[in-house]
Homo-oligomer: A and B are copies of this chain.
Amino acid sequence: MNNNKPKYQIILDNIKNMICSGKLKPEQMIPSENQLTNEFGISRVTVRKALSILINEGYIFTVHGKGNFVCKPNFNDFTIQINKNEHNESLEYDSKLINVNIIEPPSNIKILMQIYDNKKVVVVKRYIINQNEKIAYDIKYLPYNPKEPILEKEFHYINYQVSNFTESTAQNIKKIMNIRADKADESLSKILNIDKDYPILILEETIKDINEQIIGYGTTFFISNKYKLTGI
């Protein structure tokens, strides 16, 4: 029997089934909290617990004063987990530091990083390695702050742990990713030991702090047959 199933789970499964089986259709209102309270003979708080899970899982949405409604399915969002494959197994890549420099940023980087003065940037260049094989070339730019030691920044970048270099604010950033395809140019083909014009998957990331200040910009060039992105 289901006697060890919590009550909120019973009502949750019940509504989920009605949505999945099509008894409740997108945009249709589901029974009100009061109705569910009476039908299932449970308290409103417990009903609301089940509903809040349905909301979080994207099954329903609420309109105050009107009711709860079935969501339209959304097939256009999916989540990329960079370090996981399609079976949700972790993929561990090594990285090999090529060099770290402090430079006057080239104009395209100035624009991308919204640098409007003569501030310098730190450039970190690395290889991404999988089983002793180069699979990508990675280049990251971050604002140079003479007061901060560079080595610490390097360390963090190299370990892919944080992107804004201080653990204290690590939860406080926003990341924007772009994905596109290109062919390897002369320079990249030498760096990655591949033929010129070999297909490359490019991941571009811009990292902003809570004030929309850009605190990092990076590009990773993946050799296309050695890497693919997987999403669910």
A residues in contact (CB < 8 Å) with B: 19-22, 25-26, 45, 52, 56, 59, 71, 73, 75-84, 86, 160-163, 166-172, 174-183, 197, 199-202, 210, 222, 224, 227-232
CA distance A170 to B118 in the complex (A): 54
For A22, give its contact among B20, B73, B169 (CB under 8 Å): B169
A21 & B169 in contact (Cβ 8 Å cutoff): yes
Contacts A75-B160, A75-B175, A232-B176 given; does A181 touch B201 at CB 8 Å: yes
Cα A190 to Cα B79 with chains together (Å): 33
- Name the CB-closest residue of B to A58: B171
Q: Are A174 and B25 in contact (CB under 8 A)?
A: no
Complex contacts, A202 vs chain B, CB 8 Å: 181
Q: How many copies does the complex hold?
A: 2
Question: Which of B76, B210, B222 meets A82, CB within 8 Å?
Answer: B76
Residues of B contacting A166 in the complex (Cβ-Cβ under 8 angstroms): 22
* Minimal beta-carbon separation of A11 from chain B (angstroms): 17
Residues in chain B near residue A20, CB distance under 8 A? 169, 171-172, 210
Q: Jot down 6 A-B pairs with beta carbons below 8 A, ordered by A.
A: A22-B169, A52-B52, A78-B175, A177-B229, A181-B201, A182-B199
Contact at B178–A229, with CB atoms within 8 Å?
Answer: yes
B contact residues around A210 at 8 Å (CB):
20
